[in-house]
Structure 1
Amino acid sequence: MLTRIDHIGIACFDLDATVEFYRATYGFEVFHSEVNEEQGVREAMLRINGTDDGGASYLQLIEPIREDSPVAKWMAKNGEGVHHIAFGTADVDGDSEAIRDKGVRVLYEKPRRGSMDSRITFLHPKDCHGVLTELVTAATPEPSGDPEAH
């Protein structure tokens, strides 16, 4: 069962400048950052709030690090902006199978590693009214305390 909006992915040309915009404009701070070689992106997760299921909601800012990455290809057509929406689930495997059984194309045969060691898969945007949709199972319950420790 999908439990929350996990994050909204925003593609950007300059991660540092985009992070600074969200910090200066809205007061959002970086909770976690990493380079995901498999996805070909450098990213920053800005934590917005906690949720009833123990997770959180984030803005995920993503900058492509290779021209052949899916995000770079998407940006070549669309420029900067909202790239995808991600829903949190306790069981990405079960939920993606249930959604596949309803006729929606699931882009990965098996979930892959995502941000903060989560497990992820994507649903085809043509089957989701034009929205690239991600399903996310967090690696562990959200840590508390100093965000710089993550």
Structure 2
Amino acid sequence: MHVDHVGVATEDAAGLAELYTELFDAPVAHEETFDGLRVVFLELERDGYFELLEPVEDGTTIGRYLDKNGGGIHHTALATDDIEAALATARDAGVELVDDEPRDGAWGHDVAFLHPKDTGGALIEFVEH
């Protein structure tokens, strides 16, 4: 596995994308509205992406996160070639799964999350391209 992206919760994806593009020379690789969110992926030269997450509908997980914590790193995503096997490994290790089965994620990827209570407080996402 390797780091695929770092998800950043924000109230202003366009503004943060502009800043990150300037600071990190990270051009926009993909944008979409998905699951009540504006999602912007910024490509880092060799090291994956920043995924900027801005709620555009009420009641989203990211909106609740922003209300409670403000903007910042929401999750770290690890790329896997076999998301089912990654989930089985986590399950066998006694880690609580947020998603028992992969689900549709942004950019057409399959995703599944591990519960942060069992991963040192970090929300970890598996992503299969």
Summarize deviations over 1:101-139 as a string: whole Å, max 9, x none: 11101111211111221100000011111101000001x
Count of residues in Structure 1 that have an aligned counterpart in Structure 2: 129
1:77 to 68, 85, 88: 68
Match of 2:117 in 1: 126
Match of 2:39 in 1: 43
For 1:83, give the aligned amino acid: H
Unaligned runs of 5+ in 2: none
Unaligned runs of 5+ in 1: 51-55, 139-150
- Asked if 1:87 is matched to 2:83, the reply is no
1:16 to 14, 27, 34: 14
For 1:75, give the aligned amino acid: L
Summarize deviations over 1:23-46 as a string: whole Å, max 9, x none: 122221100111112xx2111111
Moved over 6 A (4+): none
Summarize deviations over 1:45-81 as a string: whole Å, max 9, x none: 111134xxxxx61110110122211111111110000
Distance 1:58 1:5 in 2: 9
After TM superposition, the structure 1 stretch with the greater mean CA deviation from structure 2, 8-17 or 62-71, is 62-71
Distance 2:60 2:25 in 1: 30
Distance 2:116 2:78 in 1: 14
Distance 1:73 1:80 in 2: 11
Q: Identity over the aligned pairs, expressed in percent?
A: 33
1:60 to 48, 51, 59: 51
TM-score (norm 2): 0.95
TM-score (norm 1): 0.82
